[in-house]
Chains A and B, each alone.
Chain A
Amino acid sequence: MEWMITANEPGKTYLMQGNEAISRGALEAGIRFAAAYPGSPSSEILTMLGHVADEMEIYAEWSTNETCALEACLGASFAGIRSLCVMKQNGLLVVGDALHSASLSGVKGGLVLVVADDPSAHSSTNEFDSRHQSRSAAVPMLEPANMQEAKEMVKWGFELSEQLQQLVMVRTVTRINHGRSSVILGEIPREKQVPKVIGEWDRMVAINWFKALQVAKVDQAQTIFEESPFNWYAGPETPDMMIVTCGTGWLYSVEAVEALGVKDSVGILKIGTTWPLPEKFIVNHLARTRKVLVVEEVDPFLEQNIANIIAYHPELNIELTGRHGQKVIPRNGELNPDVVRNALANMTGTTFQGPEVMLIPFEEAVPLPPRELTFCAGCPHRASFFLLKQTLRIQEGQGVVMGDIGCYTMGGQRAGHFLYNFLCCMGAGISAAEGLGQLTRFGFKQPVIALAGDSTFFHSCMPALVNAKYHDSNMLFVILDNSATAMTGFQPHPGIGLTAMGKTTEPISIQKVVEAIGCPVTVADPFDIAGTTEIVYQLLKQPGLKVLILKQECATLAVRKRKKAKVWVEQDLCRGDECGCGRFCSRVWGCPGNIWDYEAGKAKIDEVVCVGCGVCVSLCPAGAIKIEGGEACE
């Protein structure tokens, strides 16, 4: 809970979410600056800091993209201010150049970069290991194993950062960010940092002159890590087998050892300073054993660095196993207590005695319908995808659609009638369309369409739009403007007019930006399906770059603001299964508000779920869906 992160109760224990613990840790370190771009599972951190910003006298910003966020933190750090930068795994790749360059220039005020990975991609399009970047960018990296460590590492990270004059990365995973556990609060300093004067000859420059220094900082970090309280060994003096683990792997390993009863033969070496590895410390402990199992999330990063250490120390005689060989732990996917226990059982030749379980043969099991993702009731994306799909079919030109990242990514699945042909990363859709749209000169005849949301537009589409306009690619760029960064939890973006700290500010008009670049722009309402279909159809006839803004507010936001209209199905008008309908509203339109009453054999509106947008009213072939009252959706 938010009040926990500012509570003046040092020593008190609270149940805290990992993200809350991280926010608390940053405040306990006395930060005055925080910048981030929303990305699951990290979004809550800046949201909370934004809410408490006034109270804690800090500055918190939802930057337009991760590069702006990291670079803004560099600016604040230059004046000696402790800055926190937060992003998800993909964001770290977005800041690649900035990260590597900043590592070369070093920092002044402590700068901690919290990166949240998403093993098994629960809320991402991909599973990615951010730790490689710390090695590549020569940035020391800490990996918390629980929520308390998340707080402590972020807090200490600032000290380390200032000691080394270098960025420090803290790598978390979904189970830490979104998990909850007991955390003991520390003290929040009362004295607030004041920006230092930047002298004429003070420098923070990323030039190769500092390469040797950059490398030396890694060595310095390694020396510090040799004594770190975040690394420890627990187990027998000379174990038959040692588990070397970091992050969430630690608690799973402890539970696995307990469950198999192998405490006397298996030791656990827990590493919290995952890069650079405390080599001496590790060699000392590895010397006790012959067999090592490395347990970590996503890639065999720790494992292969341990392998390096073993290679450089021929006196060690170790059989090393981990994700790399895929012998006992799968190469892909999140860790869980069963995966780790099974791996340990395999390596120790033991079996687990679990509780009594009933196994139901497949033929006897009740068949369960899968639960798929769909757009919320009243979502403008449902309307946008419906009308785009139908227009492309009517137009009979086999249009190609490039998607992008946001709530509307789901448009590539059933909820959006499988509209996409192409999906990459944020801002990729429009440029991929630009390239394809240049092939008209070689005989490519199919219409090319790119989609992007409003937040995505600001994040990475602007240079791409300049590129497309400047080279006059034959394509239609559709901006799905629902006035929200919805997928990650409705954080504000530059088109909204609200900051992370709750201040109102001048929103930036997407339409004006597009016009300023010189593109012909059409604005349409996706809820007017028939009208907008006609508009898209006509736009596809024209050559060159066209921009269409589909503007309609996100339903989840709209329903909070307005009185809901009442929508119902006139039962005697409903055609249901018959020719002329075939359950069109629930089966094809697919809004969760449109449900099928199996007993009555008619369509119905789920009043709890329906937000009163009225689009289904316009789609019913019998005019059976009625709407009354409420305030109209603009």
Chain B
Amino acid sequence: MNQRDARRLSLILLFMPFALWILLLILLPHIGMGVLSLREKIAPRQYEFGFDNYIEFFIEPIYWHIMARTAIMSLIVTALALVIGFPVSYYIAKIAGPRTRGAMFMFCLIPLWVSDLIRAFGWILLLRETGVISGVLQWSGLISEPIELLYNDAAVIVGLVYTVMLFMIVPLTSTMDGMDDSMIEAGYNLGGNGLTVLRRIIIPYAMPGIVSGSIIVFMLTAGSYLTPVLLGGKYSSWFTQTIYDQFITRYNWESGAAFGFLLLIFTSLVVWIGLKLSGQSLSSTVARS
């Protein structure tokens, strides 16, 4: 009995930091935000319970558009990250030797040592009107006047893909690492060509990694703030900017809280649809050990 108590106590103590973290930093703030989002402002300093903040989102098309735009751009970023990350991961996991593998992982990791802000400024240095690319193009005579490459959707997408690439490569590589080489050889041996082997064997096998990487990348992208603002400029219309505006510029916390929840619900919905379409579950992808 005594020993059981001791074990229970140690379990509670071990569990405590995690429980506190979940409770104080995730659960409580969200409950607070939830309550906040359900308050309607009827007069200065006068509030009553209601769904007005949510209704406002649906009747004002501009919010809708920004949300849809954020979702579509995030999906494009996810798809690009997958298309670029898949061959890289395949190379790291299946083709590179053990030493090259470590080095390549390091190279993927190095950009993460620099803060988001500095990385975004790096892109600004390259892309702006007086930046490196514009300068080189002028020097080589391809263009006669400086061009502005910043503050458009392409710049935002490029910057975001660059930022989230690692989060696609890591789960993909670890999934493909677990694949026996002989599985690929068996695919060829039984008569498949390169495309068949990729489509019928490698991609299905890597599916948990693909889905898990895509979920992480999509969530990170849809929730990112710094990169769209810096590379897309003031009018990049990212949904997080709208939330920021509500909180900081307009000091409308109630509406900001409601938008925050809407973003959470919306991205969760996209992830859920993605899981259904790919026939995977959260436990088989992101929660995989």
Partners in one complex: no
Mark B residues whose CB is within 8 Å of A. Answer: none
A interface, CB within 8 angstroms of B: none
